[in-house]
């Protein structure tokens, strides 16, 4: 009688021997095969554990980076808001004059080239 495992492979029936020596040898072979499979499974489990620890470390570092960036961005926005609410509104005028001068210089450079 054959029994199917999950991957569609069939287990071969255990041959019936009258001698105990051949049965012991077959049990030893099956035991060695099982030990190899357990060893491989342990190795895979250890590799998965190492990968999980590495990914967790990366996620924690990325979370810290996002926290620092969020703090930096909120500080910058607070400064911009404070600057906009200030009484010195000449910054916009200075920016406008600077832009006009830069565009005029670029115009002259392009025209007389």
In a domain, 34, yes or no: yes
Residue ranges in the chain whose pLDDT is less than 70: 1-11, 13-19, 86-89
Does residue 68 sit within a domain?
yes
Residue 26: Cβ within 10 Å count: 13
82 falls within a domain: yes
Which residue is it, tokens 């600077």?
Answer: 98
CA distance 51 to 26: 38
DSSP H or E run through 3: strand 3-4
Residue 70 lies in a domain: yes
pLDDT of residue 1: 45
Per-residue model confidence (pLDDT) at position 52? 97
- Total structural domains within the chain: 1
Residue-range definition of the domain harbouring residue 25? 17-87
Position 75 in a domain: yes
In a domain, 78, yes or no: yes
Does residue 56 lie in a domain region? yes
Percent of the residues in the chain that have a pLDDT greater than 70, as a whole number: 80
What is the token pair recorded at 67?
């926290």
Task: Give the chain's largest Cα–Cα span.
Answer: 108
In a domain, residue 22? The reply is yes
Q: Is the pTM higher than 0.95?
A: no
- Tell me 11's DSSP state: E
């Amino acid at each position: 009688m054959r029994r199917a495992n999950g991957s569609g492979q069939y287990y071969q029936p255990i041959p019936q021997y009258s001698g105990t020596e051949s049965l012991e040898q077959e049990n030893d072979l099956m035991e060695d095969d099982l030990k190899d499979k357990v060893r491989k499974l342990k190795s895979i489990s250890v590799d998965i554990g190492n990968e999980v620890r590495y990914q967790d470390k990366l996620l924690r570092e990325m979370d810290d980076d996002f926290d620092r960036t969020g703090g930096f961005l909120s500080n910058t926005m607070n400064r911009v808001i404070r600057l906009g609410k200030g009484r010195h509104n000449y910054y916009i005028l200075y920016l406008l004059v600077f832009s006009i001068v830069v565009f005029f210089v670029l115009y002259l450079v392009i025209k007389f080239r």
